[in-house]
Structure 1
Amino acid sequence: MSVGAGGGEEGAVNPEMNTTPLIDVMLVLLVMLIITIPVQTHAVKLDMPAGVPPPQENTVEPEVVTIEVDFDGTVIWNGQALSSTAELEQQIMNAAAKSPQPEVHLWANKLVKYKSVATVLASAQRLGLTKIGMIGGEQFMD
């Protein structure tokens, strides 16, 4: 009487490959690769000048122009309300023609529609103003 699986020879070779040693070797190689790779540093190397910079001879403070856009879309140029977009564009052209150009500080009310602020910014860019900064962002920190 024979005990075991039937239908084959007792000494038959299993045709499947044993992959356990192959996986072990691959894991060892992976660990060795990770250990030997140098740590990547994400830094930008700059050659900075040494010493004290030379003093600037022309230290003229730039003129500052304040443009406010009120909650209803009214544009205020240095404290004076402008009645139309044409008047705003004339003021911008005058400021852009100055040398050096004045710094423009744009303050927008928290309740103003985006379209009103975008109109002022687009006009300033189109007419050549380059020094524009948004101020008053602390009102949006609620």
Structure 2
Amino acid sequence: MARSRYRPIPFTDPRPMVEMNTTPLIDVLLVLLIMMILTVPVVTHKVAIDLPGDGRRDAAPPPVHRLDIAASGALSWDGAPVAVAALPARLAGHRADPAGPILHVRADGEAPYGVVDQTLAAIKRARIDQIGLVDNARYAGLD
């Protein structure tokens, strides 16, 4: 057998190594620092919002008025027929009501698009902001 070329380097200093290996300690501290950086803003992040009260929490719900557009293009307000020319005056009275009523608009599926468009434009011009578009199934059986 051939002799191996490997020769151990003679250990010249017989004293034990007394330095602390700080690499694992630094790794752990870096991981903890990253965890703190990620979690602290989430825990302490708050947004203060002052929401106004409407003052009507215990009051009765506002009245609801219903504007129907029939398949023939005829309009009815709460079941009573109303002329297209009289609609702006009715909408102005609706807006001036201090009870803050809600307007539900229900158009028949066969109603002419022009009539529906003119009605919605009149509602927009009257600046009514509490409006609901109701489908045909909502008031089924109430007519």
- Correspondences of 1:39-58 after superposition (within 5 Å): 57-58=57-58
CA contact (8 A) 1:65 1:78 kept: yes
Cα shift readout 1:105-129 (whole Å, capped 9, x = no counterpart): 1000010111111111111110121
Structural RMSD (CA): 2.7
What TM-score, normalized by structure 1, do the two folds share? 0.54
Report the AA paired with residue 61 of structure 1. P
Aligned-partner residue type, residue 112 of structure 2: K
Task: Output aligned runs, 1:7-86, within 5 Å.
Answer: 57-82=57-82, 84-86=83-85
Normalising by structure 2, report the TM-score: 0.54
Tell me, in whole angstroms, the C-alpha distance in 1 between the residues paired with 2:57 and 2:103: 24
Question: Which residue matches 1:133?
Answer: 132
Aligned residue number for residue 120 of structure 2:
121
Q: Is the contact between residue 67 and residue 76 of structure 2 (CA under 8 Å) also seen in structure 1?
A: yes
Letter of the 1:79 partner, please give it.
G
- Aligned-pair identity in percent equals 20
1:115 partner letter? G
Report the equivalent of 2:10. Answer: none
Q: How many corresponding residue pairs?
A: 89
Corresponding residue number in structure 2 for 1:108 = 107
| Kept after mapping to 1: 8 A contact 2:108/2:136 | no
What SS does the aligned partner of 1:81 have? strand
Q: Indicate if the aligned counterparts of 2:104 and 2:131 stay in contact, CA closer than 8 A.
A: yes
Q: Describe the shift of the 1:57–1:133 C-alpha distance in structure 2 as closer, same or farther (beyond 3 A).
A: closer
Runs of 4+ in structure 1 over 2 Å off:
45-49, 56-60
Paired residues of 1:101 and 1:129 also in contact (CA < 8 A): no
Gaps of 5+ in 1: 1-44, 50-55
